[in-house]
Structure 1
Amino acid sequence: MAQEQNAAPRRPLGARIINYFREARAELTRVTWPSRQEVIESTQVILVFAVVAMVVLGLIDTIFRFITVRLP
């Protein structure tokens, strides 16, 4: 089995872990975070969608239950 001649030497595990957290922190500084108002509005949209989905699925369940009970 041939090894690659130009392979860079691996850094120690501790150095790789520290580098990972440095890069993760740097990436988080570039994130555009939503404002409080945007979070509240998004949450409201999700809650309304969930309630509508529950009602629709409840109606479908009731219809199918009514159909299956009435069948001989």
Structure 2
Amino acid sequence: MAAHDSVNKSNKPVTSGNRIISFFKELKAEFKRITWASKEDVKKALATVMTFCLIYVVIVGLLDYGFKSLVGVIFK
């Protein structure tokens, strides 16, 4: 019941044009509240992600090579 009480009630008829304008006004207000990471933080995060991706690629490549060699020995 409390959710219905907090709804903004107005006497204006709700049309699709009003809803679209209202949506973009609210969207603009939300964009003003965003706090973006600093450039240094983004660089650190990017370096960390790239490092872990490189490590993962190397490990998967070594496992692939190892299993390929093992299958070659078994079926030779």
* TM-score, reference length from structure 2: 0.75
2:27 to 24, 42, 58: 24
Structure 1, unmatched stretches of 5+, are 1-7
Q: Which residue of 1 aligns with 2:5?
A: none
The CA distance in 1 between the partners of 2:26 and 2:74, in whole Å, is 63
Q: 1:10 to 1:53 in 2, by over 3 A?
A: farther
Q: Which residue of 2 aligns with 1:37?
A: 40
The CA distance in 2 between the partners of 1:18 and 1:60, in whole Å, is 56
Structure 2, unmatched stretches of 5+, are 1-8
1:55 to 47, 50, 58: 58
1:14 to 7, 12, 17: 17
May I ask how many residue pairs the two structures share in their alignment? 65
* TM-score, reference length from structure 1: 0.78
Q: Runs in 1 of length 4+ with deviation above 6 angstroms?
A: none
